[in-house]
Amino acid sequence: MNRVHPHLRTIDVERLPVGEPVDGVAEHLASCPVCTEQVERLKAQARAFVDQRPATLVVPRIRARGRPSPWWQRWWWLSVPAAVTASFTLMLAPSSPSESGTPFGARVGLLLGSSY
């Protein structure tokens, strides 16, 4: 509230219904019906919101969800790329040193198209 704007600031009006203290508001509300009506309207909206969604309905729904699943159950899909990578690596690796004369890196290079 100042000389240019004779009413309370919007932020001060919005603090009142939730119980936050604001300096100098009580005196202004006693003399200004516009601000008093605005505060009462906000209080009524806050009551309507709480009546529409009471905690007695919300809390049981949150508890019904239960605990979150362990990380390994949420990240199960990572096993697919890991299995593909492991099988690809086993496919490229020689089964014995005498079976293949080329080193492992050369086989990967041949597969990717580069020459050694």
CB 98 within 8 A of CB 86: no
Question: What's the pLDDT tens digit per position in 34-74?
Answer: 888 988 888 898 889 888 888 788 888 888 888 877 877 77
How far is the C-alpha of 89 from the C-alpha of 93, rounded, in Å? 6
pLDDT tens readout for residues 81-106: 989 998 888 877 765 554 555 555 55
Residue 29 in tokens? 């509300």
Alpha helix stretches (DSSP H) within 1-116: 10-15, 25-31, 33-52, 55-65, 71-74, 79-92, 104-112
